[in-house]
Amino acid sequence: MNRLPLASAIVTVLVLAGCASAPPSSRPGLAPTQTCAAADEAQIAALFDRWNASLATGDPHQVVANYAPESILLPTVSNKPRRTAAEKEDYFEHFLENRPSGKIDQRFIKIGCNSALDAGLYTFTFAKTGAVVKARYSYTYENIGGQWLITSHHSSGMPEK
């Protein structure tokens, strides 16, 4: 009876068991186990409603509270990318003067592990001036410490009038 295949099988099982029981950080090329926050399309869609409601307060600080500390805003009516909370507050201080309110016209939502994308078309109505602006948008979100925050926000006016 040849014992070499049996010995080889035992060694293989022991090696695999050792790899499986080692912590992820000690296994080359493998990331630590990550827990994904549960989310569905309705929950991600509600994040725009939360952001839109913060616009209605007229308080730039409340609007900026929707953004992650490490985030970027590429706004509709400014050529300057806004990276810091102070830069975002400066933008929203002026944007809020005309009392904007947004409405989603068309959207696409994609959900990943602790991240989500909401992109599409929206219309802003400005109560102070009566102006209506149609624009494209994209929001990326990340679940940070149990809270969904905006990590990037891009908005641009529709090119065709």
Query: How many angstroms separate the CA atoms of 154 and 75, rounded?
Result: 6
3-state secondary structure of 101: strand
Residues 95 and 139 reside in one and the same domain: yes
Rounded to a whole number, what is the largest CA-CA distance in the chain?
92
Residues 66 and 113 reside in one and the same domain: yes
Instruction: Write the single-letter amino acid at 97.
Output: E
The count of structural domains within the chain is 2
Phi, psi (5° rounding) for residue 103?
-140, 130
How many other β-carbons are positioned within 10 Å of the β-carbon of residue 53? Answer: 13
**pLDDT the model gives residue 1:** 52
140 and 152 Cβ atoms separated by less than 8 Å: yes
Domain containing residue 109: 41-157
Identify the CATH number of the domain in which residue 115 sits. Answer: 3.10.450.50
Residues 4 and 53 reside in one and the same domain: no
| Successive 10-residue mean pLDDT values, the chain, 161 residues | 46 41 48 86 98 98 98 94 98 97 98 98 97 97 97 94 69
